[in-house]
Amino acid sequence: MITEKDWVLRLAQQIAQLIARALGLARAGKHAEAEAELARAAGNGLGAELSALLCLDAAGAVALLGSAAKVSTFARLVEALAEVRELAGDADGGLAKRLHAADVWTQACARFPNEPGLVDGLRQCQLAVDAVLARRAPPA
């Protein structure tokens, strides 16, 4: 019998593989295919359309998804989408997605305060946002 922990681990592994595939496509210049791969990952792993989830604010997406595992998966997909956009030359779109992912992580930490891994996900996302902003800052 599959436990919830087993399901969460399997979901995380599958999503990580799909994200890696999508980022490989993006690095090869196949940005539309990469975004389609991320959309498929959302549909398969979350049971929801990525485009629909992206229309919601972070609090709404967290409430709709309802579990820490699904919310962290969504946040990782949004971070991957940010990287795809950046690789496509859309720096503003990438930053917007990174900021959205950070908001999702923040809402997840508030809704699931005792869930391991969420604070680390938020910290990693914030570091990525900081790095993007540092690259965009005008020279001193």
Residues sharing a CB contact under 8 Å with residue 100, sequence separation 6 or more, in sequence order? 54, 58, 78
Architecture of domain 4-136: Alpha Horseshoe (1.25)
pTM of the predicted model, to two decimals?
0.92
Q: How many CB atoms lie within 10 A of CB 95?
A: 18
What is the average pLDDT score of the chain? 92
Average pLDDT over residues 116-135: 94
Rounded distance, CA 23 to CA 38, Å? 9
Give the domain ranges of the chain. 4-136
Rounded distance, CA 119 to CA 130, Å? 16
Rounded distance, CA 44 to CA 102, Å? 23
Whether pLDDT at 4 is above 90: no
- pLDDT of res. 140: 66
Crossing angle, helix 91-111 and helix 68-87, to 10 degrees?
Answer: 170
Residue % of the chain over a pLDDT of 90: 78
Which residue in this structure is represented by tokens 């990693």?
124
